Structure 1
Amino acid sequence: MSGESDEDFKDAFCDPENPIAIQFQEVSAAAYKIKGGIERTPCPKSHMSSFTGIEIFFKKEYLQHTGSFKERGARYTLMMLSAEQKKIGVVAASAGNHALALAFHGTSLKIPVYVVMPIIAPIMKVSMCRHYGAEVLVQGADINESRTIALSMAKKSGFMYINGYDHPHILAGQGTMGLEIVEQVPDVDAVVIPVGGGGLIAGTALAIKSLYPHVTVIGAESERCASFSTSIEAGHPVYTKASSTLADGLAVPLVGVNAFATAAPLIDKMVVVSEDYIALAILRLVELEKCVVEGAGATGLAAVLAGLLPELKGKKVVIPLCGGNIDTTVLGRCLERGLAADGRLLRFVVTVSDRPGGIAELTKLISSIGVSLKDIFHERAWLKSDIFSVQVKCVVETRDQEHAAEMERLLRSHYNHVQMGPHII
């Protein structure tokens, strides 16, 4: 923006030259102040404990009013404003959960909230922010451009800019989840926490390690944006290019400087999870826990399902389900991808006779073992091997991977040309 210096786009509370490592007393103070304004979410034992070999407890943060843990930090930060700042208001840049949390609690506390959301933000979340009472400006191609606009507004109008994953009061507020975990699950051995900008793991690790230093703290990231792992290797926050991911809430290219300073000394292990296992985690939560959780919120479980944490076998482990604000259309895609990753949704191509009854014989064959046909397409023009044959592409649903393997054996015993796998076009 013309006429504005670099100073206009700096966040005074998140200075890379002077990072702030928050203290346990701040988490305790946050817990006391926000006690009456947020949900004390349940942390029950999971049905998945029996087949994972891990005693899993899910901290159900998606049950907060706006659907995520972000309410903890948002409420505490708003409550800690000076009387004068409460009248003027705050501004933030967010495409989702942070914006919703600030909007809801700003209205509750009668504090003006202004939110800059990028043009790629889901329409549903934009509408909900307005419904909760925030003034919403949809501007900026991505979150970085929205942040620049928000910081400029703060400079011009006196609003306080609130970074959703790095403001010190945000970190303290998120840490209150850790206090609840150690109360709800006595003798917990480990926690597996999804990591994006680092705010949640910073506050939670501080709370838990201050009380029980022996508890193992593990961070889980998406393979499409492993910014915290990269930063730990470098010893300081490092920009990491983010790609499109099912865990869009974790796609933060540069972790918070305060979050890093607080969390890095406390984290015992970082793991990076593939997209297929994030989709599978979403599917497992819907099927077995009856929980609708967004990709970012399911990444901790994804790390377990991917077999990345064998050392947790036989241990008592808490996994936060951080958020449930997943778009309906995205949920459908995630469930289909999860079924594919689980070997229950398959594609295959087989060459069959083009004479009457050829395709009927194929469908009868797969139905004989209980495989459900979801889609079928046949191709003649580009098949060069035999003028009296037709190539058939099928999408089918099986019970499990063993059932899928049975179907493949059956097909190969009846047909010479069978191709299986996700890469079939």
Structure 2
Amino acid sequence: MNVPDLKAVEAAAERIAGAIRRTPLTDATINGQRIGIKWENRQDGGAFKLRGASNRLLAMTDEERARGVVAFSSGNHARGVAIAARRLGMEAAIVMPADAPSVKIEATRAEGAEIILYDRMRESREEIGARLARERGATLVPSFDDPHVIAGQGTVGLEVLEQAKTTVRRVLVCCGGGGLSGGIALACPDAEIIVVEPEGWDDMARSLEVGTPQTVRDNPPPTICDAIQTFRPADATVAILRNAGARSVQVSEEAVRAAVKWAWDECGEVVEPGGSVALAALLSGVVLPQEGDIAIVSGGNVDPALHARLVA
């Protein structure tokens, strides 16, 4: 198990400095408490995923780049890899679930990537991706189970430390496989990390409890949080978060819908459901807000029709 550290995050920040946006951190009031919100929906590609993808591809050799990359993702990592590959003149094949939002599939295709669709409930994206990489001699770029990807995502945490007006004591982060939350835990070792998952998709919560990666329970419920709809986290992300003393909470679909609407009504920000769960935890009271809390909004790639319904 190759686990990155703070130095790897700092190295990633230097490597990708010219490839990403420094996203804003703004103040807001929730239940009378002043908090900070980090808007990664403003990142190129509409999500934080460009950070890890850029770090992974920029760290490759010229020979590796010539053979291209394969990735699997429901959308945000897919687009991040596609953007990073296009900028470096590389070929990219992306395995995406057939039920991914069409806006994410088309945006990834528009970046020049080849799209391979699969059934997320019946097929394994990891197996499909690994087979394609073997057949093509390409490098597999996982969405979270990769030290360069985790380190790249951790640059969000470094920016938070630089931008925050007070000491960063607590950070709430959306969590699928744990790449973003794990990276931020490395970057912010003195802060409490609270990972937020949709109800029924609590594989990280179960993993942190026992110390090894656990899958979601059988027949998990439908969720609009496609961006963090993962079945199992990685050994590295579980190890990082458990070592950091992170804890996990879950939010309801109702709370997520309310958070997407709040971000639009109060801040004028378009946020996708999976990217809103940290806000949902604070707004719903699942986590009682404390002065100086930081909530990470991880992405804004949402189908326009769905967003219109959520904010109506």
- Settle same-fold status: TM greater than 0.5: yes
Task: Answer yes or no: is the 8 Å Cα contact 2:54–2:84 preserved in 1.
Answer: yes
Task: Answer yes or no: is the 8 Å Cα contact 1:103–1:134 preserved in 2.
Answer: yes
Q: Which residue of 2 aligns with 1:350?
A: none
Larger radius of gyration: 1
Q: Which residue of 1 aligns with 2:176?
A: 196
Moved more, 112-121 or 153-162: 112-121
Give the letter aligned to residue 175 of structure 2.
Answer: V
| Aligned partner (choices 224, 237, 245) of residue 213 of structure 2 | 237
Task: Answer yes or no: is the 8 Å Cα contact 1:118–1:145 preserved in 2.
Answer: no
- 1:294-337 deviation line (CA, Å, top 9, x unaligned): 11111001111121223x43x2011111000011232234335x
Give the letter aligned to residue 227 of structure 2.
Answer: G
Q: Distance in 1 between matches of 2:245 and 2:153?
A: 16
Give the letter aligned to residue 79 of structure 1.
Answer: L
Task: Answer yes or no: is the 8 Å Cα contact 1:106–1:112 preserved in 2.
Answer: yes
Task: Answer yes or no: is the 8 Å Cα contact 2:208–2:247 preserved in 1.
Answer: no
Q: Which residue of 2 aligns with 1:422?
A: none
| Aligned partner (choices 285, 302, 307) of residue 326 of structure 1 | 302
Q: Which residue of 2 aligns with 1:288?
A: 266
Q: Distance in 2 between matches of 1:137 and 1:154?
A: 13
2:37 matched to 1:83? Answer: no
Q: Distance in 2 between matches of 1:246 and 1:153?
A: 29
Q: CA RMSD in A?
A: 1.5
Q: Distance in 2 between matches of 1:130 and 1:309?
A: 38
Question: Aligned-pair distance for 1:288?
Answer: 0.4
Alignment length (residue pairs) = 308
Question: Aligned-pair distance for 1:232?
Answer: 1.2
Q: Distance in 1 between matches of 2:10 and 2:162?
A: 13
2:90 matched to 1:111? Answer: yes
2:10 matched to 1:28? Answer: yes
Secondary structure of 1:255's match?
A: coil
Q: Distance in 2 between matches of 1:90 and 1:268?
A: 32
Structure with more contact order per residue of length (Cα contacts < 8 Å, sep ≥ 6): 2
Task: Answer yes or no: is the 8 Å Cα contact 2:24–2:39 preserved in 1.
Answer: yes
- 1:214-265 deviation line (CA, Å, top 9, x unaligned): x221111111201111111122111113321121211111011211112221
| Aligned partner (choices 262, 270, 278) of residue 300 of structure 1 | 278
Unaligned stretches of 5+ residues in structure 1 = 1-18, 337-425
CA 114–276 in structure 1, closer or farther in 2 if over 3 Å, else same: same
Q: Which residue of 2 aligns with 1:379?
A: none
Q: Distance in 2 between matches of 1:123 and 1:193?
A: 25
TM-score (norm 1): 0.70
Unaligned stretches of 5+ residues in structure 2 = none
Aligned sequence identity (%): 32
